[in-house]
Structure 1
Amino acid sequence: MTTAQAKPRFRKLFDDPRWAPALVRATVLEAAHPQVGAALVANSTFVTHPWRRLRNTFDSMRRMCDPDEAVRSREAARLNRLHARLKGTGPDQRPYDAMDPAARAWVLATLFESAVTMYRLSGQPLPHEEIEGLYEETRDYLRALGDEDVHLPPTTGEFWPYYDAMVERELEDTEAMRIILYKLFDHLPAPGVLSGLPTVWATGRALAGPLIGAVTVASLPEAFRRRAGLPELPGVTTLMRGTYLAAGLTRFLPEDWISAERVVEVLSAAPGGDDPASRTAAALHERLRRAGALVRLLSPLPVPEPASPAAPVHSGAEEFFRDVLDQTGDGYLDWPDLAAMARELATRLDLDEPEETRLYEAFAGWWRELQAALDTDGDGRVSAREYASSAPGLAGPALIRVAEVLFAATDADGNGVIDAEEYRTLFRTAFRRETAAAGGAGNTGGAGSTGDKGGAGGADTYDGAAFVRAFVSFMSGRLRSSPFDPLFSQP
């Protein structure tokens, strides 16, 4: 693709509020593909860490629509490396491979078809030439990923029979699809802006969750709804059209009010960060906290009270296992969980292939170490009970290697210390001024300190020994520290 072939049509969808329900719809259709659905269930963190996943997905889509061809090519290479690592056997014992060209073509097909459907449902059907241009951009994506565009029909006239055939013959009632429709929004964890406000979040989720599910089901192809046994409630078609029409009216609001980038950054901002998104989230959090007092008076929902600020964030190994180690939320620790950690770190640091591969290999070594030490029943995975009974004090050489590789990847200039900018890249916050209370870090650049006495460069630096010590203490469950915790526990 040339620069002139950058994605103007897809790019303008980002700030269109109608794209939000259309993207949910596309994701459901993707998940109904057996290979895509199996890969999501086995490897994805979209249930346990949806806001983190949202930010990473949005950043990737934005890069793939960047006017600079070098940015698009670099992101395509990153996506290919990511997909190449997602292969295995699904719950039905059928193999899946995220690099399967037909499955990848289907993912792009759902985005194109859902965009066209979005305009139609909101009363603004696209003219033929716009549909043609959008479809050519879709095929450009496939070419950018290195796949042969023969996996998508060459013209829109041939696309619709292909799409109908896929819906009729290939899509299935997969576990991933059911999770998105009936579990994800009903159990969606609160974003950082609503952390500590369970009443406000539970009230909004109780209203919005069923609405999103019903609107999404109503927008799916009728043939697939029948085959999958998805119910269509009376009046929901009118509700669906009303939702798209109402979302479309928001395009008349000031542009900075509906900036998708700003919304995503606020929703995925880490609590306590000092970046602009976190400051905005903190201001909204305070306003919502005040509103929450009124909601608690009016809402009949039985919502558990938040934990006391004085209570520890996590009380034991099983809680640490659930909140940090079990990234996919299936109740076990296995390779996809550690791969998800490596993926998040590589994404934050925007690593190139050599550094990314070293990070994955280090995590793979740690998984082998954990499996040998903790998998007592030999089932190839580690349960919360197995972890809790053996994990205290577990910090072998493989975990130390992970810390060393991560430090080297974060230390972008290779000067032996992590400076303020590098620290912010990894943790998305500035150095904190308080001293770490445990883990042997003292005031030597441990997690949560300035690194004033790190012995490697003065104030606002973090030396390798302190970084490794703090990371190993955290990942072995011995020390919970604020900079490392959001890396893996933030929703």
Structure 2
Amino acid sequence: MHADPMMWIAGVRALYLQALHPRVVRGVLQNSDFRRDAWGRLLRTADFVGTLSYGTTRDAERAAARIRRLHRRLKATDPDTGEVYRVDEPELLLWVHCAEVASYVEVLRRSGFPLTPPLADRYIDEQRESARLVGLDPADVPADRAAMRAYFARELPQLAVGAEAREVDDFLRSPTTPPLLVPARELLWRRVANLAYAALPPYAHELYGRRAPQQGVVDLRLRAAGNILRCVPAHLRWQLPPKHILRAMARLGPGSRPAPYKLRGQAAILDGPGRAMRGDDGGDITRWRTPG
């Protein structure tokens, strides 16, 4: 999954979702220079995810230890109450983790990546290891789609769009860019940001104050984007820094090359004998449902 080019759109969707938690987004804005170094921040995040996905165990543990040390030093202040809190509170780390993992699952699944329901559950379960690395107890982290849906339902009353979330929204739509790259921002980035935003669950659109697009239309757009991006040969995409996949293949051998077709055998095992294979169950794990 992490080798798929739609992960970039999924990552931007995660940023929109994360900004809905007031304490999380406040911690980011009060401790980050993302306005001046947006691209560097995105690349560092991608490098961290890549290290956890494709690096050695020692590489992953070292990278995670650096993140934990950094987070331990950072605090934020609630302007309404004056409360000072640490940005590595488990509640905040859990929201960031779930927003990321849910976004990865939803965008890839809806864009045509062969992610069956059992495989989605397995992925969510496996990502509890990444949650451990950033300081969470895996026992407190959702382990499948049902648990993830229940988590988002519980968190919904805490979500809001304040001044900080508006600032993130405005920035993602028109990030600071060197003059020479402004045309590329208008041509490419706006499309990425608009599609990532469109892929949010309905309650997120409601909180941001915009009408939610029809999910079927968004699915068509995601699938079209996936088809286009996946036409770019993988060996060309993987040449871009930091080249985690190429280094992993050099270490583990050519048989370790990430390829979606390898999932089909895993899906058959997970689905079990005699069960019909399905591409997905149509359920957004970031949606919430009211009783009745």
What interval of TM-score do these two structures reach, taking the shorter chain for normalisation?
0.7 to 0.9
The equivalent residue for 2:125 is 136
Choose which of 70, 74, 77 in structure 2 pairs with 1:82: 70
Q: 1:211 to 1:240 in 2, by over 3 A?
A: farther
The equivalent residue for 1:19 is 7
Q: Check if 1:262 corresponds to 2:250.
A: no
Report the alpha carbon displacement of residue 179 of structure 1 after superposing the two structures with TM.
2.5
Question: Residue by residue, what CA displacement relative to the aligned partner does 1:172-216 show, whole Å, maximum 9, x if unpaired?
Answer: 2143432232224414213xxxxxxx3x52233234454344323
Report the residue type matching 1:52 in the other structure: G
The equivalent residue for 2:153 is 164
Q: Give structure 2 stretches of 5+ with no counterpart.
A: 244-292
Q: Is the 8 A contact 1:83 1:98 kept in 2?
A: yes
Q: 1:174 to 1:64 in 2, by over 3 A?
A: farther
The equivalent residue for 2:279 is none
The equivalent residue for 2:199 is 219
Question: Residue by residue, what CA displacement relative to the aligned partner does 1:281-322 show, whole Å, maximum 9, x if unpaired?
Answer: xxxxxxxxxxxxxxxxxxxxxxxxxxxxxxxxxxxxxxxxxx
| Paired residues for 1:295-444 under 5 Å | none
- Give the whole-Å Cα distance in 2 for the aligned partners of 1:85 and 1:20: 29
Question: Residue by residue, what CA displacement relative to the aligned partner does 1:15-66 show, whole Å, maximum 9, x if unpaired?
Answer: 3221111100011111221221011111112211112212222222222224
Q: Check if 1:179 corresponds to 2:159.
A: no
- Give the whole-Å Cα distance in 1 for the aligned partners of 2:236 and 2:176: 24
Question: Residue by residue, what CA displacement relative to the aligned partner does 1:379-430 show, whole Å, maximum 9, x if unpaired?
Answer: xxxxxxxxxxxxxxxxxxxxxxxxxxxxxxxxxxxxxxxxxxxxxxxxxxxx
The equivalent residue for 1:296 is none
Report the residue type matching 1:229 in the other structure: G
Report the residue type matching 1:246 in the other structure: A
SS in 1 for 2:240: helix
Higher relative contact order (CA 8 A, sep 6+): 2
Q: 1:134 to 1:97 in 2, by over 3 A?
A: same
Question: Residue by residue, what CA displacement relative to the aligned partner does 1:324-368 show, whole Å, maximum 9, x if unpaired?
Answer: xxxxxxxxxxxxxxxxxxxxxxxxxxxxxxxxxxxxxxxxxxxxx
Q: Check if 1:205 corresponds to 2:185.
A: yes
Q: Is the 8 A contact 1:16 1:251 kept in 2?
A: yes
- Give the whole-Å Cα distance in 2 for the aligned partners of 1:177 and 1:239: 23
SS in 1 for 2:230: helix
- Give the whole-Å Cα distance in 2 for the aligned partners of 1:175 and 1:91: 11
Q: Is the 8 A contact 2:107 2:199 kept in 1?
A: no
Q: Give structure 1 stretches of 5+ with no counterpart.
A: 1-11, 191-197, 266-491
The equivalent residue for 1:69 is 57
Q: Check if 1:149 corresponds to 2:138.
A: yes
Q: Is the 8 A contact 1:63 1:75 kept in 2?
A: yes
Identity %: 26
Report the alpha carbon displacement of residue 155 of structure 1 after superposing the two structures with TM.
4.0
Report the alpha carbon displacement of residue 219 of structure 1 after superposing the two structures with TM.
1.3
Report the alpha carbon displacement of residue 136 of structure 1 after superposing the two structures with TM.
1.7
Report the alpha carbon displacement of residue 109 of structure 1 after superposing the two structures with TM.
0.8
SS in 2 for 1:88: strand
- Give the whole-Å Cα distance in 1 for the aligned partners of 2:94 and 2:50: 19
Q: 1:97 to 1:230 in 2, by over 3 A?
A: farther
Q: Is the 8 A contact 2:5 2:229 kept in 1?
A: yes
The structure whose Rg is larger is: 1
Q: 1:37 to 1:94 in 2, by over 3 A?
A: farther
Question: For the aligned residues, what is the CA RMSD?
Answer: 2.7
Q: 1:210 to 1:171 in 2, by over 3 A?
A: same
- Give the whole-Å Cα distance in 1 for the aligned partners of 2:172 and 2:191: 13
Which stretch of the first structure deviates more once superposed, 63-72 or 110-119?
A: 63-72
Report the residue type matching 2:119 in the other structure: E
Consecutive aligned runs of 4 or more in structure 1 exceeding 6 Å deviation: none
Choose which of 109, 115, 130 in structure 2 pairs with 1:120: 109
Q: 1:177 to 1:125 in 2, by over 3 A?
A: farther
The equivalent residue for 1:7 is none
Report the alpha carbon displacement of residue 165 of structure 1 after superposing the two structures with TM.
2.7
